[in-house]
Structure 1
Amino acid sequence: MAEMNFDYTEESIRSLDWREHIRLRPGMYIGKLGDGSSPDDGIYVLVKEVIDNCIDEHTMGYGKHVDITIQGKTVTIRDYGRGIPLGKVVDVVSKINTGAKYDSKAFQKSVGLNGVGTKAVNALSTYFKVDSFREGKVKTAEFEKGVLIKEHKEAKSTEDNGTLITFIPDETVFKNFHFIHEYLDNQLWNYCYLNAGLVINLNGKRYVSKNGLLDLLTRKTNPDELRYPVIHLKGDDIEVALSHNNDYGEDLFSFVNGQYTTQGGTHQQAFREAYVKTIRDFFKKDYEAADIRQSIVAAISVRVQEPVFESQTKTKLGSQTVYEGGPSMKNFVQDFLSRELDNFLHRNSQIAESLKKRIEQSERERKELAGIKKLANERAKKANLHNKKLRDCHVHLNEEPPAKNKDAFIEQQNNSTIFITEGDSASGSITKARNVETQAVFSLRGKPLNSYGLTKKIVYENEEFNLLQHALNIEDGLEGLRYNNIVIATDADVDGMHIRLLIMTFFLQFFPDLVKRGHVHILETPLFRVRDKKETIYCYDESEKQAAIKKLGGKPEITRFKGLGEISPEEFERFIAADMRLQPVILEQGEHIQQLLEYYMGKNTQQRQEFIIDNLRVELDLVEETLTR
């Protein structure tokens, strides 16, 4: 082996400044980058980091409303708090370890404790502007990619106290990004649920909540699908709302100091355990934990002094105690539920009886499944040893990050993806083109079964469904989910659309939390390739094709892709790498899952028949419409 000549000297050591470090490793600060098609993509984290500062001001008693404007790719956020001290405006948004949140007296239960938030937004924006209004004066500073380009002198102002931040995310970091209204909508509602009375305005729409987590569950559920009215309990530094419906799994929303912890943490686990113990003690029966929590929909919010999170994006709480020297998180939540929930159930015997019936229904369903579940799991275990359907990747969402390079590993976990595709040719192209570190492929054999109206028994009886369930590791809930992104990759023809619907039906019927939590996406692949000798342009619809033809001029070569198998692995690589376009599967608030499935996947429902008849357009109609354009 040839000897490598590498001098390890003082010149080998390089120190990055704050801006370079954030831009070199953005995932350490904002999680996955993405294009906005996932709710945890970086552009929403940028918005959140700025709003978090507004919320902290509100929590301290300053500023009752926040105004947000998002026009195209420009974000403007105005709070009416105290404003940044004018002499420190530049430092606060451009110097790491600078901020008021290190003073625990000022921000004892703040969301952002590390003074990084707005600096990350600044460094990852092509343009960033801060205006601080304070006691009749204004101080303004402008930046490009974290570099100060203009610091304005203090000037007089008639504006109310507060801070105005304007930024444009950097398109070289967030490629082809766009904001999806539903994700922003959820983000802002969560702020309002956790800060009763706070008013947020987004592009003229007003968000405000009077009843906290009760409003959250009311919005997230359908009253006619709940087994009993929402139980709403409040105490010092803790609030809980819960009910049961008829969906499978557990639907839990957890919050710390106003921060939505999408990956849970010590407070969510404490709630799961404390709820089970309280129910067992109340009914004096040793119910299975899974039966007690099956079909639960609940939200818990706690306030913690100096919270410890497992990553900069603050999506998983690691704090073991509520405050230094105080009770453990487990005991704190347990004491609250054993007192408040127990009292509530004693006072509301009808609700207690409904809850008991729901638990006993889950118990019966579990026992009915026990036999077939055991056989199916044995078959799946054998199949996993030589599972030809799954080409797995190396990094999975449910793995414990190593101590070394932890942040880089978490960044890979956020990007972990499984493509569900049809046929050998399509799965072959994706398999050859994928990133083996973070992208897995699961191959379907033909069209899967229409699972609408079937019980969970079919998940175990159907080999394909059972193997998919095991590949995702979601049999016992989302805590063990192996991939952050589940991408349905089918042809854009009628058969491909049908397979897409059948897979979505499977998820909505048996694992609705996957959709509700934004894990399920549709892969968009180009319909056309337009090229000449100098340039190749891939187009996703007719309008993009026409624009490409106009751009190239002359008579470019146009290829129409009919299926995924027609796209070479070399071409496919760009469609599932940096330029991947994903269409998120979004369940609108208040949507009745069972009604939705019945309409689209039921057997010739009357509503669907009437819609088709009313909207049927024959060829002659289309010709006449074309001629009149």
Structure 2
Amino acid sequence: MSSQNTQNYSEDTIRTLDWKEHIRRRPGMYIGKLGDGTFADDGIYVLLKEVMDNSIDEFMMGNGKKIEVTVQEGRVTVRDYGRGIPLGKVIDVASKMNTGAKYDSKAFKKSVGLNGVGIKAVNALSTDFTVQAYREGETKRVEFSRGEVVTDHDMDTSGEKNGTYIAFTPDAEIFENYRFRDEYIETLLRNYTYLNKGLSIVYNGKVFQSKNGLLDLLNENMDGEGLYPIIHLEGEDLEIAVTHGNQYGEEYYTFVNGQHTTQGGTHLVAFREAYVKTIRDYYNKNFDVSDIRTGIIAAVSIKVEEPVFESQTKTKLGSKDVGPNGPSVRNFILDFVTEHLDNFLHKNTESAEILYKKILESEKERKAISGIKKLARERAKKVSLHNKKLRDCRVHYTDIKNDLNGNSAIFITEGDSASGSITKARNVNSQAVFSLKGKPLNSFGLTRKVVYENEEFNLLQAALDIEDGLDTLRYNHVIIATDADVDGMHIRLLLLTFFLQFFPELVKNGHLYILQTPLFRVRNKKKTFYCYSDEEKLSAMKKCGPKPEITRFKGLGEISPDEFKHFIGKDIRLEQVRLKKDVPIKDLLEFYMGKNTPDRQNFIIDNLVVEEDLVTQESNN
């Protein structure tokens, strides 16, 4: 190192960030990604979860049966009726790192909260943050802004019940253009009630509670009824609900200490192994693993002392042990499932018989397509070496260390021009492109055999790497990018049919999206606006003044790569494909992709009129 460099690198250049500055500069370390509320794992929902976790811990310790949550105009309030933060520690708990009761494992043996980090992150990332504790007729309130104390109120008397009140407004400088979505918040709160029987959560006046735990979770999330009544097994630190449906794939909901582990982990691996072993032993047959688990729908909740997660946002459990001196997670779950599931099957022979028939049907179908499956795999392997359809990215969802924020995405496009524009404009680190030849096959009513017979479907399956389930899914966001015309809509429906028919868990786990692209470009010499609706176009025309230049984009191929980068970067507009709980997938597909009934024709015509009107209006202008 030269003397000049040595002089530049002195004590003065070393700087220690204080806690709030560090959180604001490196928010991803504490809450995963930022986002604007478009996705269920965006930062604003993590902020709510961190506050909720502390209230849930109080309930788990036997304090307070109700939590009140409101979200209005971007401001969140949470009021619980637990013991309340000790009044002398209100400032410390909200603004001093590594302060919390969770370090004393006697007070919080199997807690959800972030060991004294979570609430500080919420404080630092909010323009205003208020915490008020109520204890035994006294109260203490402190108000912050971006982690700095604004008002420290003196202790006062209070007629309120014991508990804690927290209110915060996420900082719009960090969470740009954010918006809370009710459906994501309601799913989060419902999960809390499934895992905490007897807890009542009131959200904007709507009450959520559960009497039957994971049994309720499966009943409310399943596509129709199970093939046999849900098997519900409960122990002190482990609860399991399981059944099978007439669907492909495997569907799991897993939790650790109340945390929804969307990427599974050691507890899910252990359950899948334990389930297969118990079924094989019960029927005394060495069934293939896939035959046993195809169509399975299960929920698993385990409580672990000092769990180890693979990331700060706790979406995947890495723990091997249940407690400091307890059995491994694997052995704990294996012993529990082996005993309780075996007992259940012996006592419920009718359910055992239905399950047996389901396994035999899966075996029959698997053997019928084994030959073509082998050929298809060999073909996919050869193609993968020079796959012109797939332009891959560098970082994948399976690479947790490099994809902590879940940014990896694949665009499924139609035609060379559209895929060419996206390929040139994409982020090569995290965005891949898969190009379709034309309209895919309508797979409605067909068996899994078509996935291997149809080269395009087989290559798409291979690109996503989901043949054996979502454990190996290579992209967090699977994005359908088609033109906003009649043909584009049809291709979109055909792809939705393919995923819902053969990989419903991809949709149910929130990985499938539709790319929204602008219909118009409105500009003058100084400003350019990209408009996604007629209303946005009219607004842009007013902003541009007299005689703006208006371009109607009829297809993705018309949008240049330079422009496309605006639509697939930080301002990307994605619509998540979500299923309504009261509409079975089979009925949905029958309606859209079945025979042309008058109802279906009328529905499609009514919903395409708007698009045709836009085209007509534009040609008349």
**What TM-score, normalized to structure 2?**
0.94
Instruction: Give the C-alpha shift of residue 613 in structure 1.
Output: 8.8
Alpha-carbon contact 1:598-1:605 (below 8 Å) kept = no
Rounded Cα–Cα distance in structure 1 between residues aligned with 2:610 and 2:559: 33
- Report the AA paired with residue 383 of structure 1: V
The residue that corresponds to 1:307 in the other structure is 307
What corresponds to 1:263 in structure 2?
263
Instruction: Within 5 Å, give how 1:26-37 maps onto structure 2.
Output: 26-37=27-38
Contact 1:28–1:411, Cα closer than 8 Å, also in 2: no
Q: 2:583 aligns with which of 571, 588, 591?
A: 591
Write the distance in 2 (CA, Å) between the matches of 1:90 and 1:568. 53
Aligned amino acid, residue 446 of structure 1:
G
1:230 aligns with 230
Output the amino acid matched with 2:382. Answer: K
Alpha-carbon distance in structure 2 between the residues aligned to 1:222 and 1:390? 32
Q: Aligned residue for 1:625?
A: none
Q: Which residue of 2 aligns with 1:627?
A: none
Structure 2 counterpart of 1:111: 112
- Matched AA of 1:238: L
How far residue 358 of structure 1 moved from its aligned partner, in angstroms, is 0.8
* In 2: Cα distance, 1:399 partner to 1:576 partner: 22
Q: 1:152-206 deviations in whole A, cap 9, x for unaligned?
A: 2223322222111112222232233222222222111110010001001111111
The equivalent position to 2:473 in structure 1, one of 481, 492, 497, is 481
Contact 1:396 1:416 in 2 (8 A): yes
2:520 aligns with: 528
- Residue 178 of structure 2 aligns with an amino acid whose one-letter code is F
The change in CA–CA distance for 1:447 and 1:615 in structure 2 (over 3 A counts) is: closer
Match of 1:392 in 2: 392
Does the Cα contact within 8 Å between 1:113 and 1:306 map onto a contact in 2? Answer: no
Letter in 1 for 2:508: K
Matched residues in 2 for 1:617 and 1:187: separation? Answer: 37
The residue that corresponds to 1:135 in the other structure is 136
How many angstroms does 1:249 deviate by? Answer: 0.8
Render the CA deviation track for 1:279-325: whole Å, top value 9, x for unaligned.
11111111111111111001111111111111111111111111111
Unaligned runs of 5+ in 1: 402-408, 623-629
**Aligned-partner Cα distance in 1 for 2:449–2:4:** 60
State the match for 1:411 in structure 2: 404
Shift of the alpha carbon at 1:611? 5.0
Tell me the residue number matched to 2:552.
560
C-alpha separation in 2, matches of 1:42 and 1:267: 25
- The two structures have a TM-score, normalised by structure 1, of 0.93
Distance 2:577 2:224 in 1: 23
The correspondence of residues 335-374 of structure 1 with structure 2, limited to 5 A, is: 335-374=335-374
CA distance in structure 1 between the aligned counterparts of 2:157 and 2:400, rounded to whole angstroms: 53
Is the Cα–Cα contact under 8 Å of residues 221 and 590 in structure 1 kept in the other structure?
Answer: no
SS in 2 for 1:299: strand
Unaligned runs of 5+ in 2: 615-621
Distance 2:485 2:224 in 1: 38
What pairs up with 1:266-345 in 2 under 5 angstroms?
Answer: 266-345=266-345
1:529 partner SS: strand
Farther off after superposition, 384-393 or 488-497? 488-497
Q: 1:617 to 1:91 in 2, by over 3 A?
A: closer
Tell me if the contact between 2:224 and 2:584 (Cα under 8 Å) persists in the aligned partners: no
Contact 1:220 1:590 survives alignment (8 Å): no
Distance 1:259 1:11 in 2: 43
AA paired with 1:371?
G
Give per-residue Cα distances to partners, 1:234-257, cap 9 Å, x unaligned: 112111110000111110111111
1:509-548 deviations in Å (ceiling 9; x for gaps): 1000111000011111122222223322222111122222
Aligned to 1:250: 250
Match of 1:496 in 2: 488
Match of 1:576 in 2: 568
Q: CA deviation at 1:616?
A: 11
Tell me the amino acid that sits aligned with residue 185 of structure 1: E
Aligned pairs for 1:395-544 (under 5 A) are: 395-399=395-399, 401=401, 409-412=402-405, 414-544=406-536
- Matches of 2:13 and 2:456, distance apart in 1: 53
Once the two structures are TM-superposed, the CA of residue 77 in structure 1 deviates from its matched residue by 1.2
> Larger deviation: 105-114 or 260-269?
105-114
Task: Supply the AA of the counterpart residue of 1:170.
Answer: D
- Once residues 303 and 241 of structure 2 are traced to their aligned partners in structure 1, the CA distance between those partners, rounded to angstroms, is 16
Partner SS for 1:411: coil
User: How far apart, in 2, do the equivalents of 1:363 and 1:125 lie?
Assistant: 54
Deviations 1:17-65 (A, max 9, x none): 2222222222221122222222222221111111111100100111101
Indicate the residue corresponding to 1:406 in structure 2.
none
Whether the 8 Å contact between 2:68 and 2:78 is mirrored in structure 1 is: yes
After TM superposition, the structure 1 = structure 2 runs for residues 62-77 of structure 1, keeping only pairs within 5 Å, are 62-77=63-78
Across the aligned residues of Structure 1 and Structure 2, the Cα RMSD in angstroms comes to 2.2
SS class of match (1:538): strand
The one-letter amino acid of 2:93's match is: V
1:162 aligns with 2:163: yes
Partner in structure 1 of residue 618 of structure 2? none
State the shift of 1:400 in Å: 5.4
C-alpha distance in 1, partners of 2:140/2:597? 63
Question: Any idea what SS the aligned residue of 2:404 has?
Answer: helix
- Letter paired with 1:566: E
| Residues matched between the structures, number | 611
